[in-house]
Structure 1
Amino acid sequence: MSDNKLVYIKRVGTNDGESRIMAMLNASPLDGDPRNHTVPILDTFQDDEDSSISYIVMPFLRLTHNPPFTNVGEIVDFADQFLEGLAFMHEHCVAHRDCSEKNLMMDATAMYPLGFHPVKHTFLPDCNTPARSSIIPRSVAGVRYYFVDFGISSFIPPDAPSKLVLGLDGRDQDVPELSDEDPYDPFKVDIFTIGNVFRRLFYDDFSNMEFLAPLIESMTREDPAQRPTAAEALRQWTAIRKRISIFSLLWRLKRRNEGRIASVVADAKDLPHVSRQWLNWLIGRR
Structure 2
Amino acid sequence: MSSSSDSVNEDEPVRLEDLLEFEVFWRDHYEWLRDRGYVLRPRYRPGWVASWVGTNTFPFDCEDGQVQPLFEYNLDAIRIADGKPVMLRRADPPSVSDELKIGRLLSSMPPDPRNHCVPTYETITIPELDTEGRNTLVVMPFLVPWGKPDFDTVGEVVDFCTQMFEGLQYIHSLNVAHNDAKTTNIMMDWSPLYPDPPHSLRSSRRMDWSGPSKPSSRTLRPVKYYFIDWNLSRYFDPTSGTPPRLPPGYGGDPSVPEFKRKEPCDPFAVDVYCLGNVIREKFIVGDPVFHYPPRRNVEFLEELVSDMTHDDPTKRPTMTEVVSRFEVIRKGLSWWKLRSRVSAKTASSLLYRLYSPFHWIVQLSYIIRRIPAIPDYTRNKEYSNV
Same fold, TM-score > 0.5, yes or no: yes
Task: Say whether the 8 Å CA contact 1:71–1:250 is kept in structure 2.
Answer: yes
* Cα displacement string for residues 118-164 of structure 1 (whole angstroms, at most 9, x for unaligned residues): 333112233131122xx221221111111111111111121124311
Task: Say whether the 8 Å CA contact 2:107–2:120 is kept in structure 1.
Answer: yes
1:63 aligns with 2:145: yes
Question: Residues 64-143 of structure 1 correspond to what in structure 2 (within 5 A)?
Answer: 64-132=146-214, 135-143=215-223
State the partner residue of 1:12: 91
Larger-Rg structure = 2
1:48 and 1:282 map into 2 onto residues whose CA distance is 51
State the partner residue of 1:195: 276
1:231 and 1:102 map into 2 onto residues whose CA distance is 23
Higher RCO (C-alpha 8 Å, min separation 6): 1
Structure 2 counterpart SS, 1:9 = strand
State the partner residue of 2:255: 174
Equivalent position to 2:330, from 241, 249, 260: 241
Which residue identity is paired with 1:13? D
* Structure 1 residues 181 and 217: CA distance shift in structure 2, 3 A: closer
Task: Say whether the 8 Å CA contact 1:191–1:227 is kept in structure 2.
Answer: yes
| Cα distance, 1:181 vs structure 2 | 6.1
Task: Say whether the 8 Å CA contact 2:90–2:134 is kept in structure 1.
Answer: no
**How many equivalent residue pairs?**
279
2:241 and 2:183 map into 1 onto residues whose CA distance is 32
Structure 1 counterpart SS, 2:90 = strand
| Cα distance, 1:180 vs structure 2 | 9.9
Structure 2 unpaired stretches of 5+: 1-78, 286-293, 373-386
* Structure 1 residues 91 and 259: CA distance shift in structure 2, 3 A: same
Structure 1 unpaired stretches of 5+: none
Task: Say whether the 8 Å CA contact 2:296–2:341 is kept in structure 1.
Answer: no
| Cα distance, 1:219 vs structure 2 | 0.4
Which residue identity is paired with 1:261? L
State the partner residue of 1:264: 353
State the partner residue of 1:42: 121
Structure with the higher helix share, 1 or 2: 1
2:303 and 2:118 map into 1 onto residues whose CA distance is 29
Task: Say whether the 8 Å CA contact 2:177–2:268 is kept in structure 1.
Answer: yes
Task: Say whether the 8 Å CA contact 1:71–1:252 is kept in structure 2.
Answer: yes
Structure 1 counterpart SS, 2:159 = helix
Structure 2 counterpart SS, 1:281 = coil
Percent identity between the aligned chains? 33
1:129 and 1:121 map into 2 onto residues whose CA distance is 11
